Amino acid sequence: MPSENPTHAFEIHPALVLGVYGEELAQGARVAVFGRATLGLAEELVLRGARLVHVYDTDAARVAEATAGHHDRSIFYGALPGSGDVGVRDGAFDLVVVPDLSFADDKGALLALVRRVLSPSGAALIASPNAEAAAPLIPVDTGAALGYYELYEAIAEHFSSVRMLGQAPFVGYAVAEFSVEDPEPTIDTSLAESEGKEPDWFVVLASDRSMRLDPFALIELPKEALSAAREAAPRFVRSAATEQAATSSAEGSGTVLVNILEAEREAALESLRQQEHLVKEERFRADQVAGELGALREALALAEEKCRAAERRLEEEEARRSELELELERTSHNPELTELRERVQRLDASSESLVSEHEREIAKLEAQLQERGKEVQDLRAEVERRDMLVRELVATKLPPMEAPASNGHEGVIADLSARLDRLAAEAATREADLVAAKWKIAQLERDRAEPR
């Protein structure tokens, strides 16, 4: 789309074509320009839809001049230090434009900086003058320029996709029928020389993804470009005859009819520019609204899904609550439940009486156990006493006796041994009774501990 301000307050430079040719890349993009701050390229990019433009120049005086001048609020001018640190994060820009790579002393460092600040999905437009161009349309001062293959190899070191383009001069007239709103253009170069059409500039479209712009584009420059081309010091010397022919041709073309037609053409073009600018603004706003609408639709779909999930959970809870209410109502009127409750009450009363009975029986058995234990202790004491007595008798040295006496002594010992055996048997019986009583107490304790 042509610029709505054809009269530029900045110097006319061939790099202005980059702002027009890269309009598709500049739409809504964050753009960085590494070059002369006074070119007016930043203003052109803003008119083409750039959201933000940062211009970095190595000349502080040009930066101050551009900053002091009137410019859009979305344009920022800054110095380009030798270290290459421009104070932005990596991948901060969607489009990077280098109007003239020949001015960079270290072209590899500048290309590395371009790659660093460019986002992975972004693109770079890099221009370099063709040193073999003998008669450029707009002669400008340039630095040490790389050749075609050198330029390609230098940029290919930093980008995986490199497309080489040529910016060649085109001089001519546009013949258009006023009654046709959108005519199809035709290009006829039969009047131009067939030789010597080498490009004035090489333009490189570099990126890390396959990206392509229009393979052929004709871009009309403002009238000031012709004056700038005439006033600039050319790189070649034109003959006097050529100068006189050009002057006479220019003077002879100033007829009244041509002036009227030119004025009407300019008025139509101006109206077309205004309409296209309005359409561009409306498209930009429509894209923004479409993006916001898409985000709102996604949010709405997510909210609807959450609502449906909540409704399903609510329905499940309602169904579960209804089932529980029905179950509660059925059980409240169930006669079996009443009978079970009565049985539980009876079992509780019976278990309480059994517990009381068990407790009394346990107390009785504990008393008997204590009595048996006391008897066992008494028996043990008696056994020990008698055992001691036997030992003392055995240890006593009896005087020699006659045979019958000896037999009587042995009888006493045998009698004592028998009594000791009986006492041991009785003690064993008591021990068995004691163990049985303990087992019965333990059994009663387990019966008592069992749930009712």
Q: What is the CATH number of the domain that holds 198?
A: 3.40.50.150
Q: What is the pLDDT of residue 399?
A: 53
Query: Residue 71: how many CB atoms within 10 A of its CB?
Result: 20
Residue-range definition of the domain harbouring residue 53: 16-237
Residue 231 confidence (pLDDT): 60
**For residue 17, is pLDDT > 50?**
yes
Domain boundary among 219, 237, 255: 237
Separation of first and last alpha carbons in the chain: 95
Residue 114: per-residue pLDDT: 95
Looking up tokens 């041991």, which residue turns up? 424
CB 272 within 8 A of CB 220: no
pLDDT at 118: 95
| Dihedral sign (CA 337, 343, 344, 349) | positive
- pLDDT of 288 over the 70 cut: yes
Q: Which residue has the higher pLDDT, 444 or 320?
A: 320
Write out the H or E segment, with its range, that includes residue 129: strand 118-129
> Please, which pLDDT band fits residue 226 given cuts at 50, 70 and 90?
low
Tell me if 270 is assigned to some domain.
no
Beta strands in 277-424 (DSSP E): none
Boundary of a domain, candidates 205, 237, 269 = 237
Whole-angstrom CA distances from 343 to 105, 333, 338, 354 are: 105, 17, 9, 16
In a domain, 332, yes or no: no
Measured CA to CA, the distance from residue 340 to residue 334 in angstroms comes to 10
Boundary-marking domain end, from 174, 203, 237: 237
pTM higher than 0.75 for the full model?
Answer: no
Is 324 domain-assigned? no
> In the structure encoding, which two tokens stand for residue 409, read together?
């002594």
Q: Is the pLDDT of residue 247 over 50?
A: no
Residue 156 reports pLDDT greater than 90: yes
Within 10 Å of residue 264's Cβ, how many Cβ atoms? 11
The answer to whether residue 143 is domain-embedded is: yes
pLDDT at 106 over 50: yes
Number of domains, the chain: 2
Average pLDDT estimate for 115-120: 94
**Does any domain span residue 246?**
no
Q: What is the mean pLDDT of residues 169-185?
A: 82
User: 125-147 pLDDT, tens per residue?
Assistant: 999 999 888 778 888 888 889 99
Say what percent of the chain tops pLDDT 90. 22
Average pLDDT, the chain: 79
359 and 216 in a common domain? no
Q: What is the rounded distance in angstroms from the CA atom of residue 341 to the CA atom of residue 185?
A: 101
Per the listing, tokens 């490009």 go with 199
Give pLDDT, residue 420.
Answer: 75
SS3 308: helix
Q: Which pLDDT belongs to residue 151? A: 93
Question: Is 3 a member of any domain?
Answer: no
Mean predicted confidence (pLDDT) in 424-448: 78
pLDDT band at residue 157 under the 50/70/90 scheme? very high
Q: Do 168 and 20 fall into the same domain?
A: yes
pLDDT of residue 291: 84
pLDDT tens digits along 44-103: 899 999 999 999 999 899 999 988 888 888 899 999 888 778 888 999 999 999 999 999
Residues 85 and 220 in one domain: yes
pLDDT of residue 126: 95
Domain assignment of residue 62, yes or no? yes
Here the tokens at position 235 are 């790189």
Band of pLDDT at residue 230, cut at 50, 70 and 90: low
Q: Is the CB of residue 111 less than 8 Å from the CB of residue 151?
A: no
Q: Is residue 349 part of a domain?
A: no
